């Protein structure tokens, strides 16, 4: 009877199973239908500060592409779901084990008859946790939630970094394609001119063959550059979560690379700004904060394993109607933990904590080395750019001079 009543009352809050089979066609349809013109995406952009007259987006710069990634990229969706699960675990962690309700009945059919032939028993068993185990579980769950939140932020940062690298690569490859096409156009003009001069006996076939070989080399370079350009476009589409067809419908903004480099130079050439960046890397990098949060999780696990040395207590008050006589009973039980097993569990937790501590040290060492390497690489790259700029100016002057002489028939 008691079990029936408990089942009846708890069933009011039961959740039914909702079957959701995976269908490949629907997944593909979801991918294909992701659209920058989507009303949901438009509402998302408005929440990010875009005005009605700025939508739909005419030119997509880094900021707009990043917002698309935040909305459409499935990796971010997965990370958000994992964070949601961690938050649910945070709610579950402090909840104590369920109590139990028992009902027993009996009937005397033979032997000496008491004042009543019936017997009824009703008992309730509830658990009392010792050593603040619920609080420690909650602390651990909160630290795990923090880990998932920081991992989401790291994922966003990684996506932004990858997006920035590929966007700059896209801009550079676009310039390379334009330069190669212009060079091929000029070489074609020169080759045609040489062929005309050869036909008039003013030039040898060696000159024509040499220029044809150079032209073919540049055509090959153009094909290779076009292949790399298409690869970069595909990567950009994947990062922002759109299909290639939808990505090709958007217009990417042109980036002034020289202006961006100049902005970076102003920051990186200033000693104070450079030191601030180094300090941010040493103390605030997201992977370092994740490692510190994981250390906190291992610390909580150690506390929990130590707390598990102390046995929990079960209280079982009961009422028994025993063939005519009423009895009240209080039962107290406890499961004594195995001392040897718990000792090894505590030792294991200490080792795991030490590992997480070493992970923090490893990351900080890596950060120091990376900063030093990046600073040196920046200095070398800055000098190379300065030298290449001088060489390019000289090469452009030489090319203009040669082209001018060629058109005047001096070559």
In this prediction, what percent of the chain has a pLDDT beyond 70? 87
- What pLDDT digit, counting tens, does each position of 295-308 carry? 999 999 999 999 99
CB 247 within 8 A of CB 236: yes
Two tokens at 228?
């790399």
Confidence label for 93 from pLDDT (cuts 50, 70 and 90): very high
Residue with tokens 């000496």: 112
Confidence of residue 410 (pLDDT cuts 50, 70, 90): low
User: pLDDT for 222-276, tens place per residue?
Assistant: 999 999 999 999 999 999 999 888 999 999 998 877 777 777 777 777 778 777 8
The whole-angstrom separation of Cα 336 and Cα 312 is 8
Residues 6+ apart with CB under 8 A from 195: 208
59 against 408, higher pLDDT: 59
* C-alpha torsion sign, points 334, 335, 337, 338: positive
pLDDT digits (tens, 9 = 90+) for 187-199: 888 778 777 776 6
Give helix 286-307 / helix 271-284 axis angle, nearest 10°. 30
Other CB atoms within a 10 A radius of the CB of residue 12 amount to 6
Determine contact, residues 313/337, Cβ cutoff 8 Å.
no
pLDDT interval class at 397 (50, 70, 90)? confident
How many residues can be counted in the chain? 411
pLDDT exceeds 70 at position 405: no
CA-to-CA distance for 402 and 361, rounded, in angstroms? 60
- On the question of pLDDT at 83 being above 90, the answer is yes
Task: Report the distance separating Cα 334 and Cα 332, nearest Å.
Answer: 7
Pick the CATH number of 60-108+115-407 from 3.60.21.10, 3.40.50.300, 1.20.1600.10, 1.25.40.10: 1.20.1600.10
**12-33 pLDDT tens trace:** 567 787 777 766 777 777 777 7
Give the model's confidence band at 161: pLDDT under 50 very low, under 70 low, under 90 confident, else very high: very high
Q: Taking the domains of the chain in order of start, what are their residue ranges?
A: 60-108+115-407
Query: Is the distance from CB of 317 to CB of 329 less than 8 angstroms?
Result: yes
Residue 203 has pLDDT above 70, yes or no: no
Q: Tally DSSP H helices, then E strands, for the chain.
A: 12, 4
Q: What percent of the chain clears pLDDT 90, i.e. is strictly above it?
A: 37
- Taking a C-beta distance cutoff of 8 angstroms, is the pair 162, 239 a contact? yes
pLDDT over 60 (residue 277):
yes
DSSP string covering 378-397: HHHHHHHHHHHHHHHHHHHH
Mean pLDDT of the chain: 83
pLDDT for 274 equals 75
Of 114-128, 136-150, 239-253, the range with the lowest mean pLDDT is: 114-128
Give Cβ neighbours of residue 15 (< 8 Å, ≥ 6 apart).
none
Cβ 237 vs Cβ 247: under 8 Å: yes
- CA–CA distance from 49 to each of 13, 43, 46, 68 (Å)? 41, 10, 5, 14
Q: How far apart are CA 121 and CA 2, in angstroms?
A: 10
On whether the CB atoms of residues 191 and 212 are closer than 8 A, the answer is yes
Q: In DSSP terms, which residues pair with 124 in a beta bridge?
A: 101
């Amino acid at each position: 009877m008691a079990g029936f009543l408990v089942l009846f009352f708890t069933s009011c809050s039961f959740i039914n199973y909702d079957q959701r089979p995976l269908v490949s066609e629907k997944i593909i349809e979801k991918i294909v239908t992701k659209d920058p013109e989507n009303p949901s995406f438009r509402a998302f952009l408005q929440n990010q500060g875009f005005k009605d007259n700025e939508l739909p987006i005419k030119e997509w710069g880094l900021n707009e592409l990043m917002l698309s990634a935040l909305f459409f990229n499935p990796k971010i969706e997965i990370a958000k779901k994992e964070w949601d699960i961690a938050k649910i675990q945070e709610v579950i962690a402090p909840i104590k084990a369920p109590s139990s309700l028992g009902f027993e009945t009996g009937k005397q059919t033979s032997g000496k008859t008491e004042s009543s032939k019936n017997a009824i028993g009703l008992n309730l068993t509830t658990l009392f946790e010792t050593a603040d185990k619920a609080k420690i579980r909650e602390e651990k769950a909160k630290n795990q939630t923090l880990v998932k939140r920081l991992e989401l932020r790291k994922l966003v940062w990684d996506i932004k970094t990858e997006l920035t690298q590929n966007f700059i690569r896209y801009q550079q490859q676009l310039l390379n394609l334009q330069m190669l096409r212009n060079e091929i156009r000029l070489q074609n003009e020169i080759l045609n001119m040489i062929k005309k001069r050869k036909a008039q006996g003013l030039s040898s076939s060696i000159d024509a063959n040499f220029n044809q070989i150079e032209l073919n080399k540049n055509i090959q370079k153009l094909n290779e550059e076009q292949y790399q350009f298409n690869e970069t476009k595909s990567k950009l589409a994947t990062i922002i979560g759109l299909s290639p067809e939808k990505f090709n419908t958007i217009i990417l903004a042109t980036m002034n690379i020289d202006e961006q480099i100049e902005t970076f130079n102003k920051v990186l050439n200033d000693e104070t700004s450079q030191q601030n960046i180094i300090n941010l890397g040493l103390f605030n990098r997201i992977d370092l904060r994740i490692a510190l949060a994981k250390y906190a999780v291992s610390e909580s696990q150690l506390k929990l394993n130590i707390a598990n040395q102390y046995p929990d207590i079960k209280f079982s008050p009961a009422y028994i109607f025993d063939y005519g006589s009423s009895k009240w009973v209080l039962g107290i039980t406890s499961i004594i933990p195995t001392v040897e097993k718990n000792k090894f569990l505590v030792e294991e937790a200490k080792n795991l904590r030490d590992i997480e501590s070493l992970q923090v040290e490893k990351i900080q060492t890596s950060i120091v080395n990376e900063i030093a390497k990046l600073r040196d690489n920046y200095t070398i790259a800055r000098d190379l750019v300065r030298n290449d700029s001088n060489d390019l100016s000289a090469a452009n002057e030489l090319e203009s001079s040669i082209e001018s002489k060629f058109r005047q028939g001096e070559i």
